[in-house]
Amino acid sequence: MTHPLYEKHQATLDAAVAAIRGRGYWTPYPEMPSPRIYGETAVDDGKKAFENHLGKDFALTQPGQSGWTAPERSPYGIELNVRYPVCEPEALVMAAQQAMEGWRQIGAAGRVGVCLEILDRLNKRSFEIAHAVMMTTGQGWMMAFQAGGPHAQDRGLEAVAYAWDEMSRVPAETVWEKPQGKNPPLKMRKHYEIVGRGIALVVGCGTFPTWNTYPGLFAALATGNPVIVKPHGNAILPAAITVRIAREVLAEQGLDANLVSLAVVEKRTDTQALATHPAVKSIDFTGGNVFGQWLIDNARQAQVYAELAGVNNVVIESTGNYKAMLRNLAFTLSLYSGQMCTTTQAILVPAGGIDTDQGHKSFDDVAADLGAAIDKFLSDTNTAAAVLGAIQSDDTLRRIAEAGEYGSVVLASKKIDHPDFPKAEVRTPVLLTCEASAEKSYMEERFGPISFVVRVADAATAVMLSERIVRQHGALTVGVYSTKPEIIDAMTNATLRAGVALSINLDGGVFVNQSAAFSDYHGVGMNPAANASYSDSAFVANRFRVVQRRYHVE
Amino acid sequence: MTHPLYEKHQATLDAAVAAIRGRGYWTPYPEMPSPRIYGETAVDDGKKAFENHLGKDFALTQPGQSGWTAPERSPYGIELNVRYPVCEPEALVMAAQQAMEGWRQIGAAGRVGVCLEILDRLNKRSFEIAHAVMMTTGQGWMMAFQAGGPHAQDRGLEAVAYAWDEMSRVPAETVWEKPQGKNPPLKMRKHYEIVGRGIALVVGCGTFPTWNTYPGLFAALATGNPVIVKPHGNAILPAAITVRIAREVLAEQGLDANLVSLAVVEKRTDTQALATHPAVKSIDFTGGNVFGQWLIDNARQAQVYAELAGVNNVVIESTGNYKAMLRNLAFTLSLYSGQMCTTTQAILVPAGGIDTDQGHKSFDDVAADLGAAIDKFLSDTNTAAAVLGAIQSDDTLRRIAEAGEYGSVVLASKKIDHPDFPKAEVRTPVLLTCEASAEKSYMEERFGPISFVVRVADAATAVMLSERIVRQHGALTVGVYSTKPEIIDAMTNATLRAGVALSINLDGGVFVNQSAAFSDYHGVGMNPAANASYSDSAFVANRFRVVQRRYHVE
């Protein structure tokens, strides 16, 4: 069973499946916001489309609408005032459930084709979505375009590719013929139908409203499930545009638009009612430990795919390129003011210092030189504003203000005046030092631009400490700098045991906090920071079941 | 990375992977207990090997042994008195954990090769294991051989094939090269390592100690996890032989034998301690709802794959072959005295009766004719003893004795003297009728040879009732008899919604309670009777994780 949209996008799908198998570099969605790629008018069109949402009702023709709400506040200080429909959770659930049977009936190829069409339209709207991401999250423009647009689309496509890879290996039917010696064989025809588990709830976060939403959205949708997207209250617009595009594609195909709906809730209890609704069978969640653990404990009727807090760390034992290492780390700590779930928080350095191509550096040298590298990197205001973006939440502003309590300040955070947005809350990173024994300081996620250079007895202790941090507190990323194979091996084994991705000696244009779709698994799903990964088979395989029927044939 | 045992068994593995894709009939393990296939002396050798265990210590050289125990009591009334080592749960866990790293290091091909070698040895020991299964479970000889031997091995191999299918699609490494316009590309080498989640606990049941144990055992082992097998206290010997064979193969390969161990526990609290141990990351459980739900509620650190109770049902609307239908159902209800998790319990028949090739049959006709068919089928004592086997537990004997309370008796249970085992507890099925409204009677699992012909208003009501039973109480199997396409369609849609396998018009040599490995999914994993299936991708994909590392290369 095929489908026109499957055929339209088959080359992309085939390439995506090849990419997840080979895991080399690949993408169909160019990451450069260039008019030559996206069209001469794309830049202006996207900006206008974004601006056209401001101060208006964002209508979605969803069932059970009880009012409008406009909760977003831009970290850049501009007025957004987009009003979203507030819908009764029960009405969204009922509508999603009604839509499900038709979605099953078009089959895996049809569902995957529709998903690919949605992704293609999202890609064409990348500029509009980038502005929406930038202005709701505080990301800088380039990150908002790349991570909010093509890279998020990559992660969505990756999930579709995994879903297809799993679903396409289940045959629609077979003839089973069992020999019976001299008697005629037993012969049956058997049909195998892929059936979604039920309604999926995808709970977005305030910092990456598309990148962390698309994997769950597309994994669930492709495998036969209606999806209710519950965006973070301060980053609704990117999700709302996404949902509207999905609903448009579904409606064009004669499918029920309520297969994808937006749940903008005014009360926390509404989110909880959605999450614990008996018809909700999966929840994708990115966010804090408190609500994440609440979901795991209470939404027992659903599979929960959760990305929670962690304490990402880097061990520095030695380096063959001291300046490049410092530059690399300075960029990592500065990018989006450390408001990434992958940003390094603890940098573990031996008390006796490290050997480098610039001679031996003491612990204090390393801390001071890293502080200086950050300071230098951000010395140009335009660069600083572009890389740092703005601070997304008051909680993060508070953590920055309090950071001095946690250790000795090597580099203090500064407020920067953004050249384009005078009301933007822009802050440079704060870098602290502390002793390894000060676990309360550095061994708890302090989301935002707050990092610690931690004084550890020696390299072996640093490796052990890194492993313990990952096991106890979780991490999405770990790095190591060393010129010694035995240290690399020790870190490799530590990260294999603890279950975390390791970046080794990053000193160029790749950063520990970045992961590339189709190649890097984002999260391992094995330590407390996440119980799932973008993406692997486990991310999709349990979102559908196979229901069979069989009967005798001649 | 390959392995001598992988190469030895590669043809079998390749054929198994082809089988799970095509889902036609296939097996490498012949189901006929024939000397021509298994060797001239196999029959005698197997019997002697079994008898040689009786009254002796079953030594396993496991750590932490604190004593011996011999809890088994044969439903055939023979003396078993095999003494098994009792080991401290903590010692088994520690030993398993130590064994894990070496098991990861031999890689997926090595692990799969070792699993296939274990399965091959199990197959060669099928006669010995069949006697062990027969004498501990009460199964008849032919079932004990087939379901306890080759069919169980099939299910084990099927799980290995799925594990291999998933693991082999993760490349060991790649070179990722991202173009940078006019600048040199970013180039990284990335390694991807498959890492087991952690210790697997496989909790067996008293009726199918190999068939329900091998899927979890081999799925977990192949994906990199040590396995602790906790057999049912009355069906230890088949598991003990299995564990010993696994340990022999592991030791021969220079691997740590404690990768597979046997936990014979004397106290329920020891099982609970194992199940909730922080190092135990998955639990495969077959058994009752009470302990199953306890595991799901309490063993929160582990993925739980559970097969629980259900109310399997068949809707009879009409038939084109009345006698064949009755024969088929009579066999289903008689086989192993209904002590299968797949046996039909509720037969839903319209109050107005059914149309058949023998004319219209009233509700009472259908019930009476089915009773007569069972009676006739079991009229020969040798046939009856061979098909029925013996009653496995006192609880089932009690349920048979009480069955008359639940409805009107159409056919009463009889005690039969087994020709070979005078002390065997052999019982024929009891068949009852009741009204659809008597839900307390038929809508609760009554494990054993107790079935109900349920009077339902009409066919449409029967279809709806079947769906509701599956949704509320679970089922592993559902059947329908009808000559009308619209009824077949309605049942098809009902079972797709409820998530249960459907058998249509079985009137020959295939029975609703039988499922064939590589072709039939056993359980769907979507209704209350089971949250997993033998086997599909979801059964294996989340038992391992991929941990990556990456670094720049020139």
pLDDT tens per residue, range B315-339: 999 999 999 999 999 999 999 999 9
Label residue A287 left, alpha or beta by phi (over 0 means left) and psi (-120 to 50 means alpha): left
Asked if this assembly's ipTM is beyond 0.85, the reply is yes
Tokens 């890194």 -> residue: A466
pLDDT at B1 over 90: no
> Of A179, A500, A508, which is closest to B186 when you measure between CB atoms?
A508
Label residue B234 left, alpha or beta by phi (over 0 means left) and psi (-120 to 50 means alpha): alpha
- A190 contacts on B by Cβ (under 8 Å): 23, 519-520
d(CA A257, CA A245): 10
pLDDT at B120 over 90: yes
Closest CA to B436 of B257, B313, B278, B256: B313
- Spatial contact of B162 and A9, defined as CB atoms under 8 Å apart: no
d(CA A130, CA B364): 70
d(CA B61, CA A90): 58
d(CA B178, CA B187): 6
Among B496, B518, B535, pick the best mutation site for testing chain A contact (most A Cβ within 10 A).
Answer: B496
Report the number of secondary-structure helices (H) and strands (E) in chain A: 21, 22
Closest CA to B280 of B299, B296, B294: B299
| Cβ pair B519:A23 closer than 8 A | no
Residues in chain A, pLDDT under 70: none
Residue B423 C-beta-side C-alpha neighbours within 13 Å = 8
Q: How far is A421 from chain B (nearest CA, A)?
A: 31
Structure-token pair, residue A48: 């206008």
Structure-token pair, residue B241: 């032989």
How many Å separate Cα B461 from the centre of its chain? 32
Coil, strand or helix at A287: coil
pLDDT at B246 over 90: yes
Average pLDDT over residues B493-517: 97
Task: Place B546 in a pLDDT band, splitting at 50, 70 and 90.
Answer: very high
Structure-token pair, residue B91: 């010692």
Specify which residues B310 forms β-bridges with: none
Whole-number pLDDT of residue A412? 98
Whole-number pLDDT of residue A1? 78
| Cβ pair B500:A547 closer than 8 A | yes
Taking a contact as any Cβ pair under 8 Å apart, which residues of chain A between 491 and 520 contact chain B?
Answer: 492, 495-497, 499-510, 516, 519-520
- Spatial contact of B305 and B295, defined as CB atoms under 8 Å apart: no
Taking the CA atoms of chain B, what radius of gyration do you get in angstroms? 25
d(CA B318, CA B100): 56
d(CA A533, CA A520): 10
d(CA B309, CA B395): 15
Provide the mean pLDDT of chain B: 97
d(CA B487, CA B482): 7
- A180 contacts on B by Cβ (under 8 Å): 509
Taking a contact as any Cβ pair under 8 Å apart, which residues of chain B between 63 and 122 contact chain A?
Answer: 101, 104
Label residue A491 left, alpha or beta by phi (over 0 means left) and psi (-120 to 50 means alpha): alpha
Specify which residues B427 forms β-bridges with: B415
d(CA B422, CA B414): 15
Label residue B100 left, alpha or beta by phi (over 0 means left) and psi (-120 to 50 means alpha): alpha
Structure-token pair, residue B199: 């210790």
d(CA B99, CA A45): 60
Structure-token pair, residue B286: 């077959």
Task: Place B392 in a pLDDT band, splitting at 50, 70 and 90.
Answer: very high
Q: What is the pTM of this model?
A: 0.97
- B37 contacts on A by Cβ (under 8 Å): none
d(CA B346, CA B441): 10
Structure-token pair, residue A250: 């579904």
Tokens 């550890």 -> residue: A456
